[in-house]
Amino acid sequence: MRVQHQLKTGSYKAAGFIGDKQRLVHDTVIPYQYDVLRDRAEDTEKSHVYQNFVNAAAALKGEDTGDGFYGMVFQDSDAAKWIEAAAFSLANTPDPELERQADDFIAVIAASQDEDGYLDTYFTIDNREKRYTNLLEAHELYCAGHMIEAACAYYEATGKRTLLDAMHKNALHLYDVFITKGHEGFPGHPEVELALMKLYRVTGDERCFELAKHFVDKRGTDPDFYKKELSRRNWQVWGNDASNNEYQQSDKPVRRLENATGHAVRAVYLYTAMADIAAETGERELYDACVRLWNSITRKRMYVTGAIGSTVLGEAFTVDYDLPSDTAYAETCASCGLMFFASRMLENEVKGEYADVMELAFYNTVLAGMQLDGKRFFYVNPLEVIPGISGVSPTHKHDLTTRPKWYACACCPPNVARTIGAFGKYAYGESEDTAYCHMFAAGEVSFENGLRLECKTGYPYEMEVTYKVTGKGRLAVHIPSWSKKTLFTADVKPCVPIVEDGYAYFDIDGEREITITLDGEPRLIYSTPKIYALTGKACIRRGPLIYCFEGADNGGCVTDIRLEKTAKPTPAGRRGELDNAVMLDVDALKLCFKGEGLYSDTAPKYDKVTARAIPYYTWGNRGENQMRVWADIL
């Protein structure tokens, strides 16, 4: 059924660029986020996540709950994602102090679990009688899903079962509520479905798979469910529109879905579960629906940076080709979710386009979600910002010019941390006889099928990738679609491998050295004219990286840069403070407005200049200034 699957936690030991990012997460991001969750971080939005679990445990004992519950209804999920990030970090870099902190956190979480397996601090502290009465808004199943993911990752990394046993018990509680007792509901925010699939693979308990499939199959079969639920209760969290079924992915059964609609994170989390179940069962109808949704996103509703969700109104998809740069929502979590979806699609069918998008989303939007020092984070990732308008105007208030330290709704920062920590799971996969390299990642990999691999590369800035592979089987390497000229050598001799659906295949018997040289020529990228906001514009790409113009490199202003349609960007050295990134220079024209007043009949003039571009993920690290990905062409 499943043509290949992700690596086990700990099977990849990173080096190079990814190794540097994982060390940053381990050394800076995880400790900082731990302090946030414990309300110890200075000048940072209060979290109270740890204390919520302490207070929930007290409530179960009939003791004083202190200051009660604080934060968003889904506040528990921040703890779960931190534990998951810690698990991946421990698998990569053993750290007794981090493991002690995680164990302590897990003990507090386990103590907050009710006797029947229920675990959610919002309801345990103050609202026990309201359980499962507001699936539309209350995120009980979403929080359970993230905690299940954390439990699986921590068990795989450490072998410790405390959280795994607690969340297995929680899953069986959910099974009792929704299958044995027949609760007719399904998650308002999909997440638990993909988590239950992970729990099924770790525990082998078929009930976890049955429940995951139940939630997927149930969704959309009764489009009026949330309206009925609303009529039965007299309380709400935010007042979500119970009839907006596209927003919550419940307008029709999943196998009939045609277009990616509604809340972008909800969408890709759901689609990930659908693809996972399709890979497990081999069901073609479900996979065909996934393909339609994938095509809807990547061919009509995705930014050039791999970002998705173009409007702040509902953090959502809108309509085909509506991809404005300056009001983009482009949530970091949504691009993490797009990576999850792509990874599961690769388990159904090994096709290069899935790896292409996974790489695009990671190197651009996911990495842009975190400042280079690991201490600040973007929730929203616009493709253009203008100080004084962005973050200020009512229409642009969500598009910030600099990264904040933390958020009251803090889903994105720990999502970035766990995604970077788990990079090996997305970069590499395996089947019974084949090692798959979906993304280039320096380091060492041990596959369960017996193959061993060492990858040496300076990617994404250097374009040569060398694999030393030992064992018996096949090596399958994704060749990105952006590489127009790719050269191969095997054991120091030029070779022409079999290339199928974007993957080059090599036979391994003993020890082989495979080198792949990719086309690193920078080039202009043009959009289809169907994207009205990008008419007459171009952007720059080199390898997996989309570039942008920032005011700090271009005289303070980038909105006046014009590119010739045949311009040839060239590498312009490295920028140490910007992740040692390769900068690009391109001949351009700068518009010089000589008129007076707001409008003028005096024609502007153009001065020849050299415009400098930097990788998009590095923007916003030098203070507030203008930024633009797309420039007008002449």
Q: Give per-residue pLDDT as tens, 101-154.
A: 999 999 999 999 999 999 999 999 988 999 999 999 999 999 999 999 999 999
Contact 114, 62 (CB under 8 A): no
Query: In angstroms, rounded to a whole number, what is the distance separating the alpha carbons of residues 335 and 362?
Result: 7
Torsion of CA 130, 133, 134, 138, to 10 degrees: 40
| Distance (Å, whole) CA 486 – CA 496 | 10
Catalytic amino acids?
315, 411
How many angstroms from the chain centroid is the CA of residue 467?
Answer: 27
- For residue 259 the two structure tokens come to 């277009």
How many CB atoms sit inside 10 A of residue 231's CB? 10
Contacts of 319 (CB under 8 A, 6+ apart): none
Amino acid letter at 584?
L
DSSP, collapsed to helix, strand or coil, labels residue 538 as: strand
- Tell me what pLDDT residue 410 has: 62
Q: What angle do CA 565, 566, 570 make, to 5 degrees?
A: 115
Query: What whole-number distance in Å separates Cα of residue 416 and Cα of residue 375?
Result: 12
d(CA 392, CA 484): 42
Residue 42: per-residue pLDDT: 83
Phi and psi torsions of 546, nearest 5°: -85, 140
Task: Give, in degrees to the nearest 5, the angle at Cα 625 between 622 and 628.
Answer: 110
400-448 residue pLDDT tens? 999 888 766 667 788 899 999 999 999 999 999 999 999 999 999 999 9
pTM of this prediction?
Answer: 0.97
CATH architecture type of domain 431-517: Sandwich (2.60)
Nearest one of 355, 424, 410 to 379, comparing CA atoms: 410
Domain residue spans in the chain? 281-430, 431-517, 523-633
Strand 631-633 versus strand 561-563 pairing type = parallel
Contact by Cβ (8 Å): 475, 455 = no
Q: Give me 84's structure tokens.
A: 């998951």
How confident is the model over 9-61, as pLDDT tens digits? 999 999 999 999 999 999 999 999 999 999 998 877 788 999 999 999 999 99
605 phi/psi in degrees, rounded to 5:
-110, 165
How many residues are there in the chain? 634
Calculate ∠ Cα 496-459-380, nearest 5°.
125
Burial label for 96, CB within 10 Å (0-12, 13-18, 19+), is exposed
- Pair 430, 5: CB distance under 8 Å: yes
DSSP string of 487-517, one letter each residue: EEEETTEE---EEETTEEEEEEEEEEEEEEE
From the number of C-beta atoms within 10 Å of its C-beta (0-12, 13-18, 19+), residue 187 rates as buried
DSSP 32: H
CB-CB contact of 223 with 252 (8 Å): yes
Stretches where the chain sits below pLDDT 70 are: 407-410
Q: Which residues contact 426 (CB under 8 A, 6 or more apart)?
A: 6, 339, 342, 343, 358, 362, 419, 438, 439
DSSP 51: H
Q: What is the pLDDT of residue 407?
A: 63
